[in-house]
Structure 1
Amino acid sequence: MSEVLYEAHPSVWRMRPLGTLIAWLLLAAGLYIGLTGELPYLETLYASFPAAHGWSIQPSTLGRYAGYGIAAISAFNLLRWWLAGLVDRLEIHSNEILWTHGLLAKNYTEINMGSIRTVRVHQSLMQRMLGAGDLVIFTTGDEPELAVRGLPRPDEIREHIRQHASASS
C-alpha cells in the first residue's frame, strides 16, 4: 500500500456543534446541581413538591439526583458521539481511498482513484466557520459510492482526490 496523503476522523464538534455545546452546558449544569443540591429559580415549587405528595425525601437530595441524572445523560451522549467519530477513518493514498467504519464489526470501502467520477463537498455556514464539510464521492451510477459527514479540511481532501484521480486516469 502506498503512503498516506491524508488521514482524518469525523469530528464530534464539527458534526454536531450545537448538540455538543448543549451537552457540555447540561453536563456542567447537572454537576453544579448535583454537587450543590440547588435548582436555581425553582426553589418554591421544588421545596413544596415532596411534602405535598407525602415523600420523606429532602428537596436538596432530590436536586442532587436530578443533577447527577442530567450530567450522566449528557456525558453518555458526548461519549457516544466521540466514539462514533473515533471508529470512522478516511485515508487517502496516491492510488485509492479507504473508508473504515465500525468498532466491533468493521466495514471497509476502497475506491480506486481512477474510477472516481465526481467529488462533492458540501459546507453549511457553521461547517465553514469550523473548517469542516461533508464529502460525497461518485464513481459509476447515480448513487454515491461514499458519503462522509463532518470531515476536517474538506478542500484539502478534494484537492488530493483531484490530483491523484487525474494522474491515475
Structure 2
Amino acid sequence: MSSRAPAIDAHPAMFRNHPFGFILSVLLIAAFGLGLLILLWWYLQTRSVRLRIDADQVHLEEGLLSKSHVDLDIGQIRTVKVNQSFWNRVFRVGEIAVYTTGDNPEFRVTGIPDPHRVRDYVRDRREAAA
C-alpha cells in the first residue's frame, strides 16, 4: 500500500442523500427529542461505509464493530455504473455499482458525493494502465 493520500476518500452523505429525512429529523428533535436518536443512528450508518480509491486500488470498508472489506485492482474493473434520482442530481450524490465480471456488481454504495468523479477517475486510471 502506498503512503500517498487516496485520490478519493468518501463516506455517504447525510443531508445531501436524504434532505427531506434530515429536515424531518431536525423537526422531530424540537418536537419530541426522537429526531436526535434518528440523526445519531443515521450518522453512524454513514460513517460505517468508506470508499477509498488510490492510484491502482478501490477499497470499500463497511461496518462499525464487524468489518467487511472489498479490495479491487482498477485493472479488474469492467464498469462503474452511476444511478441518480432527480433529487440525487440536485444534491450531487448517487449510487455507484462496481462490476468486474458477470452480471452482478462486486458492490453497491449509495449516497456517495459526486459519483461521476468516482466513475471518471476509475475510467481514466484503467485507460492509463492499458
The answer to whether the superposition gives a TM-score over 0.5 is yes
Match of 1:9 among 8, 11, 14: 11
Deviation at 1:119, TM superposition (A): 0.8
CA contact (8 A) 2:17 2:91 kept: no
The alignment status of 1:149 with 2:110, answered yes or no, reads: yes
What's the offset of the Cα at 1:168? 2.9
Over the matched positions of the two proteins, sequence identity in percent amounts to 35
Separation in 2, partners of 1:166, 1:124:
28
| Cα shift at 1:15 | 2.6
Kindly indicate whether the alpha-carbon contact (under 8 Å) linking 2:12 and 2:113 is maintained by their aligned counterparts in 1. yes
Match of 1:106 among 67, 79, 84: 67
Gaps of 5+ in 2: none
Q: Which amino acid aligns with 1:5?
A: A
Q: Which has the larger radius of gyration?
A: 1
- Residue 89 (structure 2) pairs with residue 137 (structure 1): no
Q: Please list the CA deviations of residues 22-68 of structure 1 after superposition, one character each: whole Å capped at 9, or x if unmatched.
A: 1111212x2xxxxxxxxxxxxxxxxxxxxxxxxxxxxxxxxxxxxxx
Q: More strand by proportion, 1 or 2?
A: 2
Greater helix content: 1
C-alpha contact (below 8 Å) 2:25/2:39 kept by paired residues: yes
Aligned pairs for 1:68-107 within 5 A: 70-71=32-33, 73-107=34-68
Matches within 5 A, 1:112-123: 112-123=73-84
| 2:49–2:60 CA contact under 8 A, matched in 1 | yes
Write out per-residue CA displacement over residues 117-163 of structure 1, whole angstroms, 9 at most, x where no aligned residue. Answer: 11111111111111111111100111100100000111111111001
Would you identify which runs of 4 or more consecutive aligned residues in structure 1 move more than 6 Å? none
Q: Which residue does the alignment assign to 1:159? A: 120
Alpha-carbon separation, structure 1, partners of 2:127 and 2:72: 14
Aligned residues: 128
Output the aligned Cα RMSD: 1.1
> 3-state DSSP class of the match of 1:14?
coil
